[in-house]
Every structure is written in C-alpha cells, then in structure tokens.
Chain A
Amino acid sequence: MAQPLTTIGAKPAPEETQSCWSCGSMRAAHFCEACGKVQPPAPVDYFAFFGLPRKLNIDVAVLDKDFYELSRKLHPDLNARAGSQEQQWSLQQSSMLNDAHRTLKDPVRRTQYLLKLEGVALEEQSKSATEQARASGQAKKQIVPPDLLEEVFELNMTLEELRAQKKIGEDDPALIEEVGRHKIELEEKYDGLLRELQANWKTWDALIDRGQAGETISDNEYRQALDKMVDVLNRRNYIRNLVRDVNEALEN
C-alpha cells in the first residue's frame, strides 16, 4: 500500500523556499496555508508533486481526494482576481496537477512514467510509430514475445486467409469465428498482463522501501525490477497491436 496521504497541504516545501512569497509564513508545497496564495511552481516529478515516494502501488482514492483538494487551491478560476504573476503560477501549478493526476491514476501510464523517470526507454509500438516507420520506409523493430510465437504465426495465417476472402467478396463464417476466438484469447492475455504488471510493482516498491530503510540496493537489483516491467509492457503493446489488426481485418 502507498503511504496514506491525508495532509498534503501540510507537507513542507523544499528547504530553500519554505516561506510564502506573499505573507512570509511557512508554506505548503504548492500554496500557502496561512494566506492561501499560490506559490511558484517547483521543478518536481509527478510523484513528488503529490508528496508520494516513487512507488507504484498507489491508493487511487487517496490520489483523487488530494487532486480535488489541490484543485480547490490551484485552479485558475479561483485565482482569477490575483495579479498576473500569480495567475501565471496558478496556470502552471494547475496544469502540473492535472498532468500528474492523469498520469498517476492510470496503472499503465503510471508505470510508463516511472520507467521514463528511471531512464528506461520503451519500445515504441504505438500506431503512430508504426505508421511513421511505414511511411519512412524503415523496418520497425517488432520482437514477438516467445510465448506468443506459435499463436501469432497461426493467427497471421488465418488473418491472411480472411483478408484474401474478403477481397473476393466472400465471408466464411467458420473463419470469422476462428478469428473471433483468437481475439477473445488475446484480450484475456491482455488483461492478464495488467495483473502481471501489478505483481511486478510489488518487487519494485519493496526495493524502494528497503532503500528508504537504509539498506544498500545494488543497481542491478533495481535494473532487474525495471526490466521485468518493460517486458510486460512490451508484450502488452504487442498484443494490443494484434487485437487492432484483428479488428481491422474483421471490419474491412
């Protein structure tokens, strides 16, 4: 479980900027508790913005609650009568809040974001990357996950057959049914990978906890935990693309 986070407002700001620019009181990270003024944004990552450690198991209900509480302080609508500098800070803080909330509330985006923070590049499997590779004539790196090799081979054969039939205007119900079966299987695998990802979070979070407790964790250990998540996400992307191909073949 994530650290319970009920008093985000009370979290101290970084050392050098602990007093409010306006009233001089001790302030919270994003706004002053004494006078309510929005503070200049600090260059922090999304986890730090919410006062969270870089752990992946997050209580989304708590995150949402903090999001709404902070929105009531930072949103431009509530700072519309402030000076232009404050309005600018409110806009920046509020967009950061929304970006951070959007990223952290979604399990996959949250994981991708952590990987990015830790300097790991994910293999681009998005549709735009595919289109881009196709348009520029580059072959796109597509590693078929080993446990899917057989199924992908079979599926591609079936899809080819289906496309060929559609081309001459025929519909083979048996073939469509077979493709549909593959689709259901793939979607089950896709959902299963989310659970696998969540299991990997535990490994990562445990390393963070041990590190915080003062234990020395080798880079290798961190790296392994990250690599496992990269592997799951890549397989997940791969399956998502397959499902997209299947849908396209069924629709056309």
Chain B
Amino acid sequence: MTADRIVGIDLGTTNSLVAFMQGESPVVIPGEDGSNLVPSVVALDENNQPVIGNAARNLLIASPERAVYSIKRLMGRGLEDVQEELKFFPFRLAEDLQPGEVLRIGLGEKTFTPPEISALILRQLKRNAERFFGAPVTKAVITVPAYFNDAQRQATKDAGRIAGLEVLRLVNEPTAASLAYGLDKKQNGIVAVYDLGGGTFDISILRLHDGIFEVIATNGDTHLGGDDIDNLLITIALDDIQGDLEIDLRRNAEVVQAIRKAVIEAKIALSSQASTKLSVELPGGKHYLREITRAQFEQLIQPIIDRTVGPCKQALKDAGLKPEQIDEVVLVGGSTRIPKVRALVKEMFHREPHTDLNPDEVVALGAAVQANILGGGSEATENMLLLDVTPLSLGIEVAGGVTDKIILRNSTIPASATQFYTTQVDGQANVAIHVLQGERELAKDCRSLARFDLKGIPPMAAGMARIEVKFLIDANGILSVSAREQRSGKEAEIQVQPSYGLTDEQVESMILDSFDSAEEDFRKRQAIEARNEAGTILSALEKGRRSPAWGALTSDEKKKIAKLEKALIAVKAEEDYQAIRKAIDVLNQATTRLAELMMDSAVSIALKGKTMDEAGVAAEELGEGPTAPHPMAKAEFE
C-alpha cells in the first residue's frame, strides 16, 4: 500500500462515498458497518463529540437539535440566498450572523460553518479508507455538482483541507459518472448524463472519442433534488395533521424528523410498488396513517421533476444538438430510481436511459477513475482524459451596473481572459474590480464572486495607466486573478474579498487534525480498530471451538490455531497496529478450513431437518466465521 494513494470521494447531499481504483476497476470502500453509503448527516453526541453517518442519522430522530443533514445546500452561500432553504430545512443559523458572513450552523451548543460540517463527513470517509488500506490517506479527488459556482467549489475545496485532505481535483459529478461508464465501454459517441440527486440536478452532454471525455455543454439547478420531493410530502402530512387533529407540529422537530423518515421510505417504496402506507406515531398516542398511490405520487412530483426539462433543453441548445443526436443517456443519482423520472428522460431524449451502474455509486467510482488518471494512470485508464467546461459565464461589472462577460459558459477549462483597465483621475492608486458569475445582463442579477482591489498603481495622469488583469479558471472550475501595470511593468497587488467564503487563515485555523499529530492520531486510531477486529476474530474462534466442526480438524491444525491465537492475544496488548493486523491475517488463514466445515455442518443441520432454531444458530455462526473478509466489514458481536 503506497502512502500517497489517491481516493475518489462523492460528497453528496444525502449520502457520501469513498472509492479507489483496485487493479483495473474502481470499487467503493465500505465503512466499519459494512455499508458503502455514509449518510451525509453530522451530529454531536452527549459529550459534544461529532458522530457521522448512520449513527448521526439515529440521533437526528432522537435529538434533532444536535444533528444536521443536507449541508451541501448551504455550501458557498450567504444569508440572503438561503432564505428559501430555511423554510424547509431545520438549519439553525447562529443568531449573531451578519449579512455577507460565512454561515454558521448551530449543533447542540456549538456552531460550525458548512465547510467544517462537510469536513467532518470527509474525515469519516478518509478514516474508512485508511482503515481499508491500513495506511494514511492524504490526497483525494472530490466531486461537485457540475452547476456549482465558484464559491460552492471553493467551499468544497476548503472542506477537504479542513479534513486534512489535499484536494487534487474537483470533478463534476455527471462527468465523473461518464468516466465510470466509459471505462469498460471505450466507445465513441455523444452521451447525455442526467443526474438528479438528493439536492442538486445536473445535465451534461459529452462527446467521447478515443478516450477523451469532452464536455460540450452543461446545465442544472443546484437546488433541485430528492429533498424537494421529501419536503413536499412532509408539508402535505403536516397539513393533514393540522387539518384533522388541529395541532400544528411544524415546530416539533422530533415529529418532523419522524415524518421525514416515513416519507422517504414511502417515496422509495413507490418506485417498486403501486401504493404504500405512510405511517407515523404522533405525540399523545395518535397515529398518522395515509395511503399514497403511485399515480398520486407522480402527480404530486410532476412540477418538481418538470424543472429538469428547461436545463436539459438549454444544454442541448448550447451543444448545438437535437435529442435524436444523443447516442446514449446515463442516469445518475438516487432520484433517477423514480419511474416517472425515467419516463421523463426517455421522452426528452427519445431513448431508453442506461441504468447498468448503481446510480448511488457511479459518481464515486468515476472519482476513483479520475484519481487514478491524476496519479499517473494505469492500463485501464490509459489514454483517458477529461476535458470539462465552466458551467457559468464569468463577467465583470462595468459602468451602469452591467455585466460584461469575459469567459462564456461551456468554455473548456482551464480557460482565461485578459482585460485592460485604466485610471479615471490623476494619480489614482487603486482600481476596484467586481467579478461576477451568471448569465444575466445586470450585475445585480448575477452571483457576486469577489471584489478585487488593484493597489499600488504608480502615480500617472488619468487614463495613462494600463493595467492588465488576467482571469484564469483552473481545471477545478475555480477562478484566480492576477494583474500587472504594463507601463511600469509592476505587478499590481490584488486584495481579494470573496463575497462568500472563508479566508485562508480561517481555513487554517479549522483544520481538524493538525499536521503535527496526524500521524500519531492515525496510529492510535488504527491500533484501536485493529484491536477491535482482533477481538472479533478471537470470539468467533471461541464459538468455532464449541461447534461440531472443531472435532473434524486434525490435531496439527488445532495446535497451529492455538499457537496463532496466543500470538494474536500477545500483540493485541501492544500499540503496533501493523503487527496486530498481520497476526489477524495469519489466524484467518489458519482457520479457513474450520469456517468451511462450520458452513458444511450448518447446511447438513438444515438438511437433516433439525428445528429452525438450531439451523438459525448455525447460520448465525456461519456469518461470524473467522474467515469473514477483513478488513472490510466488522460483524456485530454480543
């Protein structure tokens, strides 16, 4: 295991995943609980320690004020653009928040910025990967919605840094998905990727030729996804309850979360069933029960999913293509499991969309492919190259509050533009530049990215200075600006005031594991985890000794197992996690036959017509056999 293995991370609104390239194909790395998906939920336990994923999701119901979900919706956004979200999401903004400041979210008694909360999720994924590799992981490719603007991208990059990850590249989610799909197909043609996730929608149109994945147009909506469907159903349920029982439960966070859980289950059920029951226990012993048919559900969500049509049409128009010219359509994101969404896509593109890869995992798999390319490539990724575009036009404000576009949307990145500025009064030393992102004509309708102050312009008569300002969008879709006064040849100093974002110093102060202690922390954590695993295998062996299969082993086998068991118990007391893992591995090998015999005996018990209980016991032992693959999943033990 090399130390600088690069992982691919899908930091999703609802779920997050980490993947890497194993040999010639990308695989998802499961968490300690064996699950590939880490729910993007962060909570603080009673000791104010952060919990992430499934554990946090449980806390979300029990103590909602200590948990937060869908934080991706707040990444790179300011107070004024989240008013709509606040109506539907239980985000508790810090009370002393000022307009223009980076948001802070209350979690228990503490507050966190969205990048810090995302960083906690990323750190969990990093740990899962480190556990898997048995080595530190410090480099990652992270995916973002294609339609993310500069501020949202920067916030994601900051989150990586806070989590102790060097973010080698931000990759657009639909593009990543196309990499995962293209890996084994290796064919040429035009592909449309329709990506409807938990909170964001993207459509990207790519041309694939000889290993080059060239995005020709992209569009989307960073606030459209499964969350919107959930919120609609929650609102309906709350309205129902208020109408029938005359109680308004909107402020009862526990009940709202219980309803949310129920509507998500109902939504999922309706993808495979014609109808389902929405059932929620209410305070005071009441019970809310409602039947929803798929027809009703489809009617309800129609306005939401119709919002994906406009971006698709615009992307086709920008690409200069007609729907018939699309060779393949790929579906990405959990919300594309909804049959009505599939029907809509089929109708728009006149063809059956591809669903061969798991829509929840395909983005992470693609991120792993890109990580492999960045790491120097392999046989599988040879000749593969991604050419992505900037989703939004970059502009600067000119006289009259008008946006002058200098890099148009769908330009291949990296991309640059050079503008010349001059002074308006004699001896003027500073020039202010307002950078915008968006398609609208007026600056006030575009997204303000940053204000740059060019400083230290040598004194000259008005209009004499000639300041060359270069705007560069890098391969991550993030802008940088440099300036030079041409007559004096002097580099002009640029002071950046990001409109929404953390300063370098702020990010620095938030870094979760300071670099000094990272290695030590890693060792400690690894030792703890390795000891846990050792405990697991030792108690499984204990059960194995009691099973009839034990008697079938030769005395040599038994002796060897006993020796290795002793060795493991010995190293388990030490801090050397690598030694513990090694001892686990050899004991695992030595007990392979025991596990097989146990499996056989379980089967024969069943065949001999023993009671179901006995067979059940045997089957349980089977799952806990010492050969359970390590270090992938940890079985539960009493």
A residues near B, CB below 8 A? 68, 71-72, 75-78, 80-81, 91, 94-96, 98-99, 101-102, 127-128, 131-136
Contacts and interface: CB of A to CB of B under 8 A. Distances in A.
Interface stretch (B114-122, B242-250, B396-404, B556-564): B396-404
25 contacts: A71-B385, A76-B474, A76-B475, A77-B385, A78-B373, A80-B168, A80-B169, A80-B374, A91-B475, A95-B414, A95-B416, A98-B411, A98-B412, A99-B417, A102-B412, A127-B441, A128-B404, A128-B405, A128-B441, A131-B400, A131-B441, A131-B442, A132-B399, A132-B404, A136-B400
Given A76-B475, A127-B441, A135-B402, A81 B386 contact: no
B459 interface: no
A81 B375 contact: yes
Contacts of B376: 81
Q: How large is the interface on B (under 10, 10 to 19, 20 to 34, 35 or more residues)?
A: 35 or more
B48 to A, nearest CB: 39
Interface of B: 168-169, 209-210, 212, 370, 373-376, 383, 385-387, 398-405, 411-417, 441-442, 472-475
B398 A132 contact: yes
Nearest to B405: A128
Interface SS majority for chain B: strand
B402 A132 contact: yes
B212 A71 contact: yes
Contact of A101 (B373, B405, B412, B417): B412
B400 A96 contact: no
Given A77-B385, A77-B475, A91-B474, A128 B398 contact: yes
Nearest to B211: A72
Given A78-B385, A128-B403, A128-B405, 12 more contacts: A75-B385, A80-B374, A91-B414, A96-B416, A98-B414, A99-B415, A102-B411, A102-B412, A102-B415, A128-B402, A132-B398, A134-B400
Which A-B residue pairs are the 6 nearest by beta carbons? A135-B400, A95-B414, A80-B374, A95-B416, A98-B412, A132-B402
A68 B398 CA distance: 35
Contacts of B398: 128, 132
Contacts of A135: 399-402
Contacts of A75: 385, 387, 475
Contacts of A81: 374-376
Contacts of A134: 400
Contacts of B441: 127-128, 131
B416 A99 contact: yes
A107 to B, nearest CB: 14
Contact of A76 (B375, B414, B416, B442): B414
A13 B398 CA distance: 39
B139 to A, nearest CB: 10
A75 B169 CA distance: 13
B405 to A, nearest CB: 7
Given A68-B212, A72-B385, A98-B415, A77 B374 contact: yes
A91 B212 CA distance: 18
A134 B441 CA distance: 13
Contacts of A91: 414, 472, 474-475
Interface SS majority for chain A: helix
Contacts of B169: 77, 80
A95 B370 CA distance: 20
A194 to B, nearest CB: 15
A35 to B, nearest CB: 15
A95 B375 contact: no
Contacts of A71: 212, 385, 387
Contacts of A136: 399-400
B35 to A, nearest CB: 31
A97 to B, nearest CB: 9
A77 B402 contact: no
Contacts of B412: 98, 101-102
A171 to B, nearest CB: 25
Nearest to A68: B212
A35 B472 CA distance: 28
A71 B400 CA distance: 39
Of residues B375, B414, B442, which shows the largest number of chain A Cβ atoms within 10 Å of its Cβ? B414
A178 B629 CA distance: 76
Contacts of A102: 411-412, 415
Contacts of B401: 135
Contacts of B400: 131-136
Contacts of A76: 414, 474-475
A77 B414 CA distance: 11
Contacts of B474: 76, 91
A127 B395 CA distance: 14
Contacts of A68: 209-210, 212
A36 to B, nearest CB: 12
Contacts of A132: 398-400, 402, 404
Nearest to B408: A102
B480 to A, nearest CB: 9
Contacts of A77: 169, 370, 373-374, 385-386, 475
Contacts of A128: 398, 402-405, 441
Nearest to A133: B400
A98 B413 contact: yes
A133 B404 CA distance: 13
Nearest to A81: B376
Nearest to A80: B374
Of residues B209, B411, B416, B442, which shows the largest number of chain A Cβ atoms within 10 Å of its Cβ? B416
Nearest to A78: B385
A71 B441 CA distance: 33
A138 B22 CA distance: 64
B425 to A, nearest CB: 17
Nearest to A75: B385
B395 to A, nearest CB: 8
A101 B387 CA distance: 13
A131 B416 CA distance: 25
Nearest to B476: A76
A27 B475 CA distance: 26
A131 B374 contact: no
B365 to A, nearest CB: 17
Nearest to A72: B385
Nearest to B413: A98
B558 to A, nearest CB: 51
Contacts of A95: 413-416, 472-473
Contacts of A80: 168-169, 374-375
A134 B398 CA distance: 13
